[in-house]
A and B are shown apart, each in its own frame.
Chain A
Amino acid sequence: AQKVTQAQTEISVVEKEDVTLDCVYETRDTTYYLFWYKQPPSGELVFLIRRNSFDEQNEISGRYSWNFQKSTSSFNFTITASQVVDSAVYFCALKYLGKSTFGDGTTLTVKP
């Protein structure tokens, strides 16, 4: 069985600060896929980034970057120079054979 843990329930930062959201997962599968989704107050979950389990190269996309470490089963997500519009609930998810297992989310509040 898969499990995703997001230990940070809520984070509050001031605009332009960098913020890192933590994600730790458990799985016995050797091939799996990791995702981050954003759920703004409007409610619709939106895909942000993904990483294959066999590719540990970390990347940057605009203000987003992610750090995947298979040895520690972690898939952390960083927003650089946060903005008020980044305020939302962020979910980490692990996908295997079509089923996605989500963490309980981290609520990010960015204050002006």
Chain B
Amino acid sequence: DAGVTQSPTHLIKTRGQQVTLRCSPISGHKSVSWYQQVLGQGPQFIFQYYEKEERGRGNFPDRFSARQFPNYSSELNVNALLLGDSALYLCASSLGYRVPNSPLHFGNGTRLTVT
């Protein structure tokens, strides 16, 4: 079975631009979460979506938004990029909070560099 897939793998943007990152979950997983990982730190929670509804949001500015589609894939959008947005963006799928102890299954991430 295919794992979590993310695209693109790498991205270079300029300050002020907008970026869209994409994620396809494992088949059968209805929950998708987005995390930001800065070098040397653990992943920081950005969003969780379950059944196309936002179920949780971390401490990130409104420049960050996301959505989940009927096929459970998801997009993360970041507007007005800042240098500090440079990070590895991880998408994770899981069975959702109806199975609260379900682990996260991560994709390989999108490496975003803002210049």
Contacts and interface: CB of A to CB of B under 8 A. Distances in A.
Interface stretch (B11-19, B63-71, B79-87, B97-105): B97-105
A43 B100 contact: no
Nearest to A96: B100
Given A33-B101, A50-B101, A102 B108 contact: no
Interface string A22-40: 0000000001010101000
Contacts of A37: 104, 106
Contact of B101 (A45, A52, A105): A52
Contacts of B42: 4, 91, 93, 102-105
A95 interface: yes
Nearest to B98: A98
A63 interface: no
A38 to B, nearest CB: 11
Interface magnitude class on chain B:
20 to 34
B72 interface: no
B26 to A, nearest CB: 12
B56 A97 contact: yes
A95 B41 contact: no
A31 B58 CA distance: 20
A44 B108 contact: yes
Interface string B6-26: 000000000000000000000
Interface string A1-15: 000100000000000
B48 interface: yes
Given A33-B101, A98-B55, A100-B33, A45 B50 contact: no
Interface of B: 31, 33, 35, 40-45, 48, 50, 55-56, 58, 88, 90, 92, 96-97, 100-101, 103-109
12 contacts: A37-B104, A42-B108, A44-B107, A44-B109, A45-B104, A91-B42, A91-B43, A93-B104, A95-B100, A98-B100, A100-B45, A101-B45
Interface of A: 4, 31, 33, 35, 37, 42-47, 50, 52, 91, 93, 95, 97-105
